[in-house]
Structure formats: C-alpha cells, structure tokens
C-alpha cells in the first residue's frame, strides 16, 4: 500500500510570530522553515483550513482542524508519508 498523501503548509515568519504559543506544538522546523504537516487542506474560502490526524493517549483516532487567514500561508507542498522535507 502506498504512503498516504500529506501536505506541508509553510507559514510566513510574521504569521508564526502573530499566532504565538498556540501554534507552536503543531509546527515543524526542518531546514529552518516553519510548517505544519496535515492530512487535508481546504483553501477555498477566506480561511485556510488544515486537518491534522493523530492518535490520542489511548490509541483513539483524533482529528484537529486549524483555520488560518489565507494571507498567512506562504507555500503548500504535497508529500508522501510524514518524513522530513529536504534531500538526503
């Protein structure tokens, strides 16, 4: 079975600063570029919607939705799996 498609949503530095502490647990910072890895995105409205999937402490499936102003999003990349972004 092929790896699931995930999305790396890169944010502008000003967006990370403006969002502050609430966004920090969801950010990854490989290669010095803050981004959020999510399983679904919806950029069709005024807010950019990100859906994150994970597991709770008892193994239950969890889904979290984050909605950001579209102007905070710098770049979106699709990727297979949840590996680090970059070249080896």
Write down the pLDDT at residue 9.
Answer: 94
Write down the pLDDT at residue 21.
Answer: 95
Write down the pLDDT at residue 2.
Answer: 60
pLDDT in tens, the chain (88 residues): 466 788 999 999 999 999 999 999 999 987 678 899 999 999 998 999 999 988 888 888 889 999 999 999 999 998 875 555 544 4
Cα–Cα distance, 79 to 4 (Å, whole number): 8
Tell which residue, 88, 81, 3, has the closest CA to residue 37.
81
User: Residue 7 contacts by C-beta under 8 Å, 6 or more apart in sequence?
Assistant: 37, 38, 39, 40, 41, 50, 76, 77, 78, 79
Long-range contact set of residues 53-61: C-beta below 8 Å, sequence gap at least 24? none
Query: What pTM value is reported for the model?
Result: 0.81
Cα–Cα distance, 38 to 54 (Å, whole number): 10
Write down the pLDDT at residue 35.
Answer: 92
Number of residues written out for the chain: 88
Cα–Cα distance, 85 to 88 (Å, whole number): 9
């Amino acid at each position: 079975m092929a790896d699931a498609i995930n999305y790396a949503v890169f944010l502008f530095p000003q967006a990370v600063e403006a969002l502050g502490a609430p966004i920090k647990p969801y950010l990854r910072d490989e290669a010095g570029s803050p981004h959020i890895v999510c399983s679904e995105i919806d950029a069709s409205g005024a807010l950019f919607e990100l859906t994150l999937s994970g597991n709770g402490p008892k193994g239950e499936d969890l889904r979290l939705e984050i909605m950001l102003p579209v102007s905070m999003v710098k770049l979106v990349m699709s990727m297979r799996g949840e590996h680090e972004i970059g070249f080896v």
